[in-house]
Structure 1
Protein backbone atom coordinates (compact mmCIF):
# COMPACT_ATOMS: atom_id res chain seq x y z
CA UNK A 1 0.00 0.00 0.00
CA UNK A 2 1.26 3.47 -0.83
CA UNK A 3 1.78 6.02 1.90
CA UNK A 4 -1.38 7.59 3.26
CA UNK A 5 -1.38 11.35 2.85
CA UNK A 6 -4.91 12.36 1.96
CA UNK A 7 -7.61 10.91 4.22
CA UNK A 8 -11.29 11.07 3.34
CA UNK A 9 -13.56 11.22 6.38
CA UNK A 10 -17.22 10.29 6.14
CA UNK A 11 -19.29 11.55 9.07
CA UNK A 12 -22.55 13.15 10.12
CA UNK A 13 -23.63 16.74 9.59
CA UNK A 14 -25.94 16.82 12.61
CA UNK A 15 -25.00 18.89 15.65
CA UNK A 16 -27.74 17.30 17.77
CA UNK A 17 -25.55 14.39 18.81
CA UNK A 18 -23.65 13.25 21.89
CA UNK A 19 -20.50 15.11 22.88
CA UNK A 20 -18.76 11.73 22.67
CA UNK A 21 -19.09 11.84 18.87
CA UNK A 22 -18.12 15.51 18.68
CA UNK A 23 -15.03 14.84 20.78
CA UNK A 24 -14.08 11.93 18.51
CA UNK A 25 -14.37 14.16 15.41
CA UNK A 26 -12.20 16.81 17.07
CA UNK A 27 -9.62 14.23 18.11
CA UNK A 28 -9.44 12.72 14.63
CA UNK A 29 -9.05 16.11 12.97
CA UNK A 30 -6.30 17.05 15.41
CA UNK A 31 -4.43 13.81 14.71
CA UNK A 32 -4.74 14.29 10.95
CA UNK A 33 -3.37 17.83 11.13
CA UNK A 34 -0.59 17.03 13.57
CA UNK A 35 0.59 14.10 11.46
CA UNK A 36 0.67 16.00 8.17
CA UNK A 37 -2.36 14.40 6.57
CA UNK A 38 -4.73 16.25 4.30
CA UNK A 39 -8.44 15.91 5.12
CA UNK A 40 -10.88 15.37 2.27
CA UNK A 41 -14.54 15.61 3.28
CA UNK A 42 -17.96 16.84 2.25
CA UNK A 43 -17.27 20.56 2.67
CA UNK A 44 -19.82 21.36 5.38
CA UNK A 45 -19.34 23.61 8.40
CA UNK A 46 -21.96 21.88 10.57
CA UNK A 47 -22.00 18.76 12.74
CA UNK A 48 -19.09 16.36 12.91
CA UNK A 49 -18.10 17.51 9.43
CA UNK A 50 -17.38 21.03 10.62
CA UNK A 51 -15.67 19.83 13.78
CA UNK A 52 -13.22 17.51 12.01
CA UNK A 53 -12.40 20.22 9.45
CA UNK A 54 -11.84 22.91 12.07
CA UNK A 55 -9.68 20.61 14.20
CA UNK A 56 -7.54 19.60 11.21
CA UNK A 57 -6.99 23.24 10.26
CA UNK A 58 -6.24 24.25 13.86
CA UNK A 59 -3.59 21.50 14.03
CA UNK A 60 -1.85 22.80 10.92
CA UNK A 61 -3.34 20.44 8.36
CA UNK A 62 -4.87 21.19 4.98
CA UNK A 63 -8.53 20.52 4.24
CA UNK A 64 -10.26 19.93 0.92
CA UNK A 65 -14.05 20.21 0.98
CA UNK A 66 -16.20 18.95 -1.88
CA UNK A 67 -19.80 20.12 -1.76
CA UNK A 68 -22.67 19.89 -4.27
CA UNK A 69 -24.32 23.12 -5.43
CA UNK A 70 -27.70 22.14 -3.98
CA UNK A 71 -26.17 21.89 -0.49
CA UNK A 72 -23.94 24.93 -0.91
CA UNK A 73 -26.93 27.19 -1.66
CA UNK A 74 -28.27 26.32 1.80
CA UNK A 75 -25.22 28.19 3.15
CA UNK A 76 -23.77 25.23 5.00
CA UNK A 77 -20.41 25.21 3.21
CA UNK A 78 -17.25 25.82 5.22
CA UNK A 79 -15.67 29.04 3.95
CA UNK A 80 -12.35 28.72 5.76
CA UNK A 81 -10.93 25.64 4.06
CA UNK A 82 -7.67 25.23 2.20
CA UNK A 83 -9.72 24.35 -0.87
CA UNK A 84 -13.49 24.22 -1.45
CA UNK A 85 -14.79 22.59 -4.61
CA UNK A 86 -18.42 23.17 -5.57
CA UNK A 87 -19.70 20.40 -7.85
CA UNK A 88 -22.88 19.66 -9.78
CA UNK A 89 -24.13 16.56 -7.96
CA UNK A 90 -23.73 14.10 -5.11
CA UNK A 91 -22.35 11.57 -7.59
CA UNK A 92 -19.61 13.95 -8.69
CA UNK A 93 -18.83 14.78 -5.07
CA UNK A 94 -18.44 11.14 -4.07
CA UNK A 95 -16.29 10.30 -7.10
CA UNK A 96 -13.99 13.28 -6.46
CA UNK A 97 -13.67 12.37 -2.78
CA UNK A 98 -12.49 8.90 -3.80
CA UNK A 99 -10.11 10.23 -6.44
CA UNK A 100 -8.57 12.80 -4.06
CA UNK A 101 -8.03 10.33 -1.18
CA UNK A 102 -5.51 7.66 -0.26
CA UNK A 103 -7.63 6.19 2.55
CA UNK A 104 -11.05 6.43 4.22
CA UNK A 105 -12.24 6.82 7.79
CA UNK A 106 -15.86 6.42 8.84
CA UNK A 107 -17.04 8.30 11.92
CA UNK A 108 -20.61 8.15 13.26
CA UNK A 109 -23.21 9.57 10.91
CA UNK A 110 -26.62 9.08 9.36
CA UNK A 111 -27.99 7.94 6.01
CA UNK A 112 -25.50 9.95 3.97
CA UNK A 113 -22.60 8.42 5.87
CA UNK A 114 -24.05 4.94 5.35
CA UNK A 115 -24.45 5.65 1.63
CA UNK A 116 -20.82 6.73 1.31
CA UNK A 117 -19.59 3.83 3.44
CA UNK A 118 -21.44 1.13 1.53
CA UNK A 119 -20.41 2.62 -1.79
CA UNK A 120 -16.70 2.72 -0.91
CA UNK A 121 -16.91 -0.84 0.47
CA UNK A 122 -18.68 -2.05 -2.67
CA UNK A 123 -16.11 -0.39 -4.91
CA UNK A 124 -13.35 -2.11 -2.95
CA UNK A 125 -15.17 -5.46 -3.19
CA UNK A 126 -15.34 -4.97 -6.96
CA UNK A 127 -11.63 -4.04 -7.03
CA UNK A 128 -12.27 -0.51 -8.24
CA UNK A 129 -9.80 0.64 -5.56
CA UNK A 130 -7.50 -0.93 -2.99
CA UNK A 131 -7.39 1.90 -0.46
CA UNK A 132 -7.64 1.22 3.27
CA UNK A 133 -10.95 1.81 5.05
CA UNK A 134 -11.18 2.20 8.82
CA UNK A 135 -14.47 2.37 10.70
CA UNK A 136 -14.19 4.22 14.01
CA UNK A 137 -16.66 2.42 16.25
CA UNK A 138 -16.97 5.31 18.69
CA UNK A 139 -18.87 4.23 21.80
CA UNK A 140 -20.18 1.17 19.91
CA UNK A 141 -21.91 3.27 17.25
CA UNK A 142 -21.07 0.92 14.35
CA UNK A 143 -21.52 -2.39 16.19
CA UNK A 144 -24.90 -2.83 14.47
CA UNK A 145 -23.17 -2.43 11.10
CA UNK A 146 -20.79 -5.25 11.98
CA UNK A 147 -23.74 -7.38 13.07
CA UNK A 148 -25.56 -6.64 9.82
CA UNK A 149 -22.57 -7.75 7.78
CA UNK A 150 -22.29 -10.93 9.87
CA UNK A 151 -25.99 -11.58 9.20
CA UNK A 152 -25.49 -11.09 5.44
CA UNK A 153 -22.58 -13.54 5.54
CA UNK A 154 -24.62 -16.07 7.53
CA UNK A 155 -27.46 -15.81 4.99
CA UNK A 156 -25.13 -16.29 2.01
CA UNK A 157 -25.36 -12.77 0.56
CA UNK A 158 -21.76 -11.90 1.43
CA UNK A 159 -18.56 -13.84 1.98
CA UNK A 160 -16.47 -14.03 5.16
CA UNK A 161 -13.66 -12.34 3.19
CA UNK A 162 -15.82 -9.22 2.93
CA UNK A 163 -15.07 -8.58 6.62
CA UNK A 164 -11.51 -7.89 5.47
CA UNK A 165 -12.61 -4.99 3.27
CA UNK A 166 -12.33 -2.68 6.28
CA UNK A 167 -10.85 -2.49 9.76
CA UNK A 168 -12.83 -1.55 12.86
CA UNK A 169 -11.21 0.32 15.73
CA UNK A 170 -12.81 1.43 18.98
CA UNK A 171 -10.46 4.30 19.76
CA UNK A 172 -9.62 7.31 17.60
CA UNK A 173 -5.94 7.02 18.47
CA UNK A 174 -5.96 3.64 16.70
CA UNK A 175 -7.23 5.05 13.39
CA UNK A 176 -3.93 6.17 11.84
CA UNK A 177 -2.01 3.01 12.81
CA UNK A 178 -4.86 0.94 11.36
CA UNK A 179 -4.70 2.88 8.08
CA UNK A 180 -1.00 2.08 7.79
CA UNK A 181 -1.33 -1.57 8.80
CA UNK A 182 -4.44 -2.65 6.90
CA UNK A 183 -3.63 -5.51 4.51
CA UNK A 184 -5.20 -5.77 1.09
CA UNK A 185 -8.23 -8.08 1.24
CA UNK A 186 -8.13 -11.39 -0.57
CA UNK A 187 -11.32 -11.93 -2.54
CA UNK A 188 -10.76 -14.48 -5.24
CA UNK A 189 -12.36 -13.57 -8.58
CA UNK A 190 -13.38 -17.22 -9.09
CA UNK A 191 -15.48 -17.19 -5.91
CA UNK A 192 -16.93 -13.68 -6.32
CA UNK A 193 -20.46 -13.62 -7.58
CA UNK A 194 -22.17 -10.58 -9.07
Structure 2
Protein backbone atom coordinates (compact mmCIF):
# COMPACT_ATOMS: atom_id res chain seq x y z
CA UNK A 1 0.00 0.00 0.00
CA UNK A 2 1.27 3.45 -0.89
CA UNK A 3 1.54 6.07 1.83
CA UNK A 4 -0.74 9.10 1.52
CA UNK A 5 1.15 12.15 0.29
CA UNK A 6 -0.05 14.77 2.78
CA UNK A 7 1.68 17.51 0.81
CA UNK A 8 -0.35 16.86 -2.34
CA UNK A 9 -2.80 19.49 -3.57
CA UNK A 10 -5.67 17.01 -3.40
CA UNK A 11 -4.98 16.16 0.25
CA UNK A 12 -4.62 19.83 1.15
CA UNK A 13 -7.98 20.59 -0.50
CA UNK A 14 -9.64 17.89 1.61
CA UNK A 15 -8.01 19.31 4.75
CA UNK A 16 -9.19 22.84 3.97
CA UNK A 17 -12.72 21.64 3.25
CA UNK A 18 -12.89 19.83 6.58
CA UNK A 19 -11.76 22.99 8.36
CA UNK A 20 -14.62 24.88 6.73
CA UNK A 21 -17.12 22.16 7.67
CA UNK A 22 -15.92 22.09 11.28
CA UNK A 23 -16.27 25.86 11.57
CA UNK A 24 -19.84 25.83 10.23
CA UNK A 25 -22.60 25.05 12.72
CA UNK A 26 -24.68 21.91 12.39
CA UNK A 27 -28.07 22.94 10.96
CA UNK A 28 -31.14 22.29 13.07
CA UNK A 29 -32.83 19.03 12.16
CA UNK A 30 -36.45 19.58 11.23
CA UNK A 31 -37.61 17.29 8.42
CA UNK A 32 -36.51 13.66 8.75
CA UNK A 33 -36.49 11.38 5.72
CA UNK A 34 -37.31 7.74 6.42
CA UNK A 35 -36.24 5.01 4.00
CA UNK A 36 -37.93 1.64 4.54
CA UNK A 37 -39.46 -1.41 2.93
CA UNK A 38 -42.72 -1.71 1.03
CA UNK A 39 -43.27 -4.98 2.93
CA UNK A 40 -43.62 -5.40 6.69
CA UNK A 41 -41.00 -8.14 6.99
CA UNK A 42 -41.46 -11.28 9.07
CA UNK A 43 -40.19 -9.98 12.41
CA UNK A 44 -43.01 -8.15 14.26
CA UNK A 45 -40.40 -5.81 15.76
CA UNK A 46 -39.99 -4.15 12.37
CA UNK A 47 -43.58 -2.88 12.33
CA UNK A 48 -43.65 -2.15 16.07
CA UNK A 49 -40.52 -0.01 15.93
CA UNK A 50 -41.65 1.72 12.74
CA UNK A 51 -44.87 2.76 14.47
CA UNK A 52 -42.88 3.88 17.52
CA UNK A 53 -40.61 5.97 15.30
CA UNK A 54 -43.57 7.63 13.57
CA UNK A 55 -45.08 8.52 16.94
CA UNK A 56 -41.75 9.86 18.21
CA UNK A 57 -41.19 12.03 15.14
CA UNK A 58 -44.70 13.48 15.40
CA UNK A 59 -44.38 14.23 19.12
CA UNK A 60 -41.00 15.90 18.59
CA UNK A 61 -42.23 18.06 15.69
CA UNK A 62 -40.21 16.35 12.96
CA UNK A 63 -42.19 16.19 9.70
CA UNK A 64 -41.54 12.90 7.92
CA UNK A 65 -40.32 12.73 4.33
CA UNK A 66 -40.74 9.29 2.77
CA UNK A 67 -41.28 7.45 -0.50
CA UNK A 68 -45.02 8.01 -0.75
CA UNK A 69 -46.12 4.37 -0.67
CA UNK A 70 -49.08 2.86 1.17
CA UNK A 71 -47.76 -0.67 1.63
CA UNK A 72 -45.51 -2.24 4.24
CA UNK A 73 -43.31 -0.18 6.54
CA UNK A 74 -43.67 2.75 4.15
CA UNK A 75 -47.39 2.92 4.78
CA UNK A 76 -46.84 2.32 8.49
CA UNK A 77 -44.43 5.22 9.00
CA UNK A 78 -46.85 7.60 7.28
CA UNK A 79 -49.93 6.31 9.11
CA UNK A 80 -48.32 6.27 12.56
CA UNK A 81 -46.88 9.76 12.13
CA UNK A 82 -50.19 11.26 11.05
CA UNK A 83 -52.12 9.36 13.74
CA UNK A 84 -49.89 11.04 16.34
CA UNK A 85 -50.55 14.50 14.86
CA UNK A 86 -47.45 14.77 12.71
CA UNK A 87 -46.92 15.94 9.14
CA UNK A 88 -45.91 13.67 6.27
CA UNK A 89 -44.41 14.56 2.88
CA UNK A 90 -44.80 11.70 0.41
CA UNK A 91 -42.63 11.65 -2.73
CA UNK A 92 -43.32 9.08 -5.43
CA UNK A 93 -42.72 8.66 -9.17
CA UNK A 94 -45.78 8.92 -11.39
CA UNK A 95 -45.50 5.34 -12.64
CA UNK A 96 -45.75 3.95 -9.09
CA UNK A 97 -48.78 6.12 -8.36
CA UNK A 98 -50.40 4.84 -11.55
CA UNK A 99 -49.89 1.28 -10.26
CA UNK A 100 -52.01 2.18 -7.23
CA UNK A 101 -49.12 2.09 -4.74
CA UNK A 102 -49.32 5.68 -3.48
CA UNK A 103 -50.67 6.90 -0.15
CA UNK A 104 -52.07 10.20 -1.35
CA UNK A 105 -53.84 11.29 1.85
CA UNK A 106 -50.63 12.58 3.45
CA UNK A 107 -50.01 16.23 4.36
CA UNK A 108 -48.05 16.99 1.18
CA UNK A 109 -47.91 14.73 -1.87
CA UNK A 110 -45.21 15.23 -4.52
CA UNK A 111 -44.96 13.34 -7.82
CA UNK A 112 -41.70 13.00 -9.72
CA UNK A 113 -40.98 11.82 -13.24
CA UNK A 114 -38.29 9.29 -12.29
CA UNK A 115 -36.82 7.37 -9.36
CA UNK A 116 -33.70 9.53 -9.51
CA UNK A 117 -35.77 12.70 -9.26
CA UNK A 118 -37.51 11.17 -6.26
CA UNK A 119 -34.18 10.78 -4.43
CA UNK A 120 -33.16 14.31 -5.41
CA UNK A 121 -36.40 15.69 -3.97
CA UNK A 122 -36.08 13.62 -0.79
CA UNK A 123 -32.61 15.06 -0.29
CA UNK A 124 -33.87 18.59 -0.91
CA UNK A 125 -36.78 18.22 1.52
CA UNK A 126 -34.83 16.59 4.38
CA UNK A 127 -32.38 17.55 7.12
CA UNK A 128 -31.51 14.01 8.21
CA UNK A 129 -32.11 10.40 7.16
CA UNK A 130 -33.24 7.31 9.08
CA UNK A 131 -33.02 3.92 7.36
CA UNK A 132 -35.41 1.21 8.55
CA UNK A 133 -35.29 -2.43 7.44
CA UNK A 134 -36.18 -2.95 3.80
CA UNK A 135 -35.09 -4.61 0.60
CA UNK A 136 -33.00 -3.71 -2.41
CA UNK A 137 -34.66 -0.32 -2.90
CA UNK A 138 -33.97 0.65 0.70
CA UNK A 139 -30.33 -0.41 0.37
CA UNK A 140 -30.02 1.66 -2.80
CA UNK A 141 -31.47 4.75 -1.12
CA UNK A 142 -29.12 4.37 1.84
CA UNK A 143 -25.99 3.82 -0.24
CA UNK A 144 -26.92 6.69 -2.56
CA UNK A 145 -27.17 9.16 0.32
CA UNK A 146 -24.01 7.73 1.90
CA UNK A 147 -21.99 8.00 -1.31
CA UNK A 148 -23.29 11.54 -1.87
CA UNK A 149 -22.17 12.40 1.66
CA UNK A 150 -18.72 10.98 0.88
CA UNK A 151 -18.29 13.37 -2.06
CA UNK A 152 -19.84 16.33 -0.20
CA UNK A 153 -23.07 16.57 -2.19
CA UNK A 154 -24.64 16.96 1.26
CA UNK A 155 -23.51 17.06 4.89
CA UNK A 156 -26.65 15.63 6.50
CA UNK A 157 -26.62 12.87 9.14
CA UNK A 158 -27.71 9.36 8.16
CA UNK A 159 -28.74 6.70 10.67
CA UNK A 160 -29.38 2.99 10.30
CA UNK A 161 -32.19 1.97 12.66
CA UNK A 162 -30.69 -1.47 13.23
CA UNK A 163 -33.78 -3.21 14.56
CA UNK A 164 -32.97 -6.73 15.79
CA UNK A 165 -29.50 -6.35 14.20
CA UNK A 166 -31.02 -6.37 10.70
CA UNK A 167 -28.18 -4.30 9.24
CA UNK A 168 -25.26 -6.08 10.92
CA UNK A 169 -24.18 -7.87 7.74
CA UNK A 170 -24.44 -4.68 5.67
CA UNK A 171 -22.29 -2.79 8.18
CA UNK A 172 -19.79 -5.67 8.14
CA UNK A 173 -19.63 -5.50 4.34
CA UNK A 174 -18.92 -1.77 4.45
CA UNK A 175 -16.21 -2.36 7.05
CA UNK A 176 -14.74 -5.00 4.74
CA UNK A 177 -14.48 -2.39 1.97
CA UNK A 178 -12.41 -0.25 4.34
CA UNK A 179 -10.25 -3.19 5.41
CA UNK A 180 -9.63 -4.08 1.76
CA UNK A 181 -8.47 -0.56 0.89
CA UNK A 182 -11.46 0.61 -1.15
CA UNK A 183 -12.65 3.24 1.33
CA UNK A 184 -10.99 5.13 4.19
CA UNK A 185 -11.85 3.91 7.68
CA UNK A 186 -13.17 7.39 8.51
CA UNK A 187 -16.05 6.79 6.08
CA UNK A 188 -17.65 4.59 8.72
CA UNK A 189 -18.28 7.79 10.69
CA UNK A 190 -20.49 9.19 7.91
CA UNK A 191 -23.44 7.19 9.25
CA UNK A 192 -24.86 6.26 12.64
CA UNK A 193 -25.59 2.63 13.52
CA UNK A 194 -28.18 2.56 16.32
CA UNK A 195 -30.57 -0.02 17.76
CA UNK A 196 -32.89 2.47 19.50
CA UNK A 197 -34.65 5.72 18.62
CA UNK A 198 -32.81 7.52 21.42
CA UNK A 199 -29.55 6.20 20.02
CA UNK A 200 -30.38 7.66 16.62
CA UNK A 201 -31.10 11.13 17.95
CA UNK A 202 -28.11 11.08 20.31
CA UNK A 203 -26.04 10.33 17.22
CA UNK A 204 -27.66 13.18 15.32
CA UNK A 205 -26.88 15.57 18.19
CA UNK A 206 -23.15 14.84 18.05
CA UNK A 207 -22.74 14.22 14.30
CA UNK A 208 -19.97 16.09 12.49
CA UNK A 209 -19.58 15.73 8.76
CA UNK A 210 -15.88 15.21 8.12
CA UNK A 211 -14.51 14.16 4.76
CA UNK A 212 -11.54 11.80 4.83
CA UNK A 213 -8.95 11.78 2.09
CA UNK A 214 -10.64 9.21 -0.12
CA UNK A 215 -7.69 7.89 -2.11
CA UNK A 216 -5.93 5.58 0.32
CA UNK A 217 -3.57 3.72 -2.00
Corresponding residue of 2:71: 46
Deviation at 1:180, TM superposition (A): 2.2
Which moved further from structure 2: 171-180 or 80-89?
171-180
Report the TM-score, using the length of structure 2 for normalisation. 0.85
Q: 1:101 aligns with which of 126, 131, 141?
A: 126
Q: Distance in 2 between matches of 1:117 and 1:141?
A: 14
Corresponding residue of 1:120: 145
Q: Does 1:11 align with 2:36?
A: yes
> Larger Cα Rg: Structure 1 or Structure 2?
2
Q: Distance in 1 between matches of 2:40 and 2:161?
A: 18
Q: Distance in 2 between matches of 1:16 and 1:123?
A: 28
Deviation at 1:16, TM superposition (A): 4.4
Report the TM-score, using the length of structure 1 for normalisation. 0.94
Aligned residues: 192
Q: Distance in 2 between matches of 1:60 and 1:179?
A: 23
CA RMSD of aligned residues (A): 1.5
Deviation at 1:17, TM superposition (A): 2.9
Corresponding residue of 2:13: none
Q: Does 1:179 align with 2:204?
A: yes
Q: What stretches of structure 2 of length at least 5 have no aligned partner?
A: 1-25
SS of the residue 2:120 aligns to: helix
Corresponding residue of 2:117: 92
Q: Distance in 1 between matches of 2:80 and 2:145?
A: 24
Deviation at 1:160, TM superposition (A): 0.3
Q: Distance in 2 between matches of 1:34 and 1:79?
A: 22
Deviation at 1:39, TM superposition (A): 0.3
Deviation at 1:185, TM superposition (A): 2.5
Is 1:4–1:180's contact at 8 Å kept on the other side of the alignment?
no
Deviation at 1:177, TM superposition (A): 2.6
Q: Does 1:36 align with 2:77?
A: no
Q: Distance in 1 between matches of 2:69 and 2:61?
A: 21
Q: Does 1:148 align with 2:173?
A: yes
